[in-house]
Amino acid sequence: MSDESKRPPHDLGGLAGGPIDTDEHEPTFWEQRIDALQVLLGDKVRRIIDTAELRRGIESLGPEAYDTLSYYERWAASIAAVLVEKGVVTEGELDRRAAEIRARREGAQ
């Protein structure tokens, strides 16, 4: 019924898969921060990014990014895209700041 070639990358139910890796992974501080970003942006006070928008942003990353980025990297990419779309931040601001932080980190080492 559904055209397989049009299956979006997140719609996984029923596909063949391999063994499930049950290793525990404690969230890193960076991952907690990304989670907190969405919690805050989606809360009742701000209502800047709805869960549905976060999901749509993740689903729009394309199959390659969906399969290769880590879970919270997908979140970060989606949140950034929606924030830019809504004019909360610009792409230029994000790029400049990311470069600054990278330089700060590298300088500190």
Assigned token pair, 81:
């895209």
Spatial neighbors of 78 by CB under 8 A, at least 6 apart, are 54, 55, 56, 57, 58, 60, 61
Least distance in angstroms from the C-beta of 104 to another protein: 10
CA 85 to chain centre: 15
Q: Which residues bind another protein (CB under 8 A)?
A: 1-3, 6-7, 10-25, 27-30, 32-37, 39-41, 44, 46, 48, 50-53, 55-56, 58-59, 67, 69-73, 76-77, 79-80, 83, 86, 88-89, 93-94, 97-102, 105
Least distance in angstroms from the C-beta of 107 to another protein: 13
Half-sphere exposure of 66 (CA within 13 A, CB side): 15
Least distance in angstroms from the C-beta of 9 to another protein: 9
